[in-house]
Amino acid sequence: MNLHEFIQLALAEDVGDGDHTSLSTIPADAQKRARLLVKEAGILAGVEVAKAIFAEVDPTFVVDVLMQDGASIKPGDIVLTVSGNARNILTAERLVLNCMQRMSGIATHTRELVNLLEGTRAKLLDTRKTTPNFRICEKMATKIGGAVNHRFGLYDMILIKDNHVDYAGSIEAAITQAVTYLKNTGRSLRIEVETRNRAEVEEVLRVGQVDVILLDNFTPEGIREMVRLIDGRYITEASGGIDETNLRAYAETGVDFISSGALTHQIKSLDLSLKAY
């Protein structure tokens, strides 16, 4: 799904057969304006999405953007103004706010975690733990906050996790079958393998043919030990049980990436509003 398709579906869900409140109370030719106000400090995200929503609802809108994605915002700031048909402004209002509030909450939390990594080699990754059909916006928000987008979906990378290993019979069997699949289908995808202990890491090192070794639910000291064992032969990623309280300790192990599902699935939206003026 691209952004245009997402906006069309979201509007269809909200508008149905018409915004009957606006249709019944606002004259069809009324021309009005509104401004998007900040009510809570954080990192702004979703401006480009808002512009796309306004353009989809009414291409004649005049949108004046005063603050860009990634900006630090505080209560009282004005992000943008929009002027045009009053009914159409009200139709766009809730979708703009729903997207920008959640995206800004994600970007704010992401930036807080990225700041904790400063001075280390580790980069923060997002995950597929996203809201169904809203992933495109959530991935945009984590990137605005300073994280690196991991795979977008099941189609753009091979990530062999614990259940794949268990179903395939072993790490070696899973890797071998994945490599054969790529060869037979003519695809060029990166292969990442999740490991749960030293023995599994050693098995990956023996088999090879992968790009990334995921170290899942290791302690920081365990990660440090595995990073030494891998010794730069593969990209390393840490995940599982990592939050703001221990993120720095994991980053200081020398691991390349740290992934966090909490970037998108445990977020409080930032308070924004669209007000007539």
| Residues taking part in catalysis | 94, 129, 161, 194, 216
Over 90: is that where the pLDDT of 265 sits? no
For residues 53, 128, 148 and 241, what is the CA-based torsion angle, rounded to 10 degrees?
A: 130
The pLDDT score that the predictor gives to residue 1 is 78
* Rounded average pLDDT over 189-196: 98
State pLDDT tens for residues 218-256.
999 999 999 999 999 999 999 999 999 999 999 999 999
Look up residue 96 and give its two tokens.
């703009």
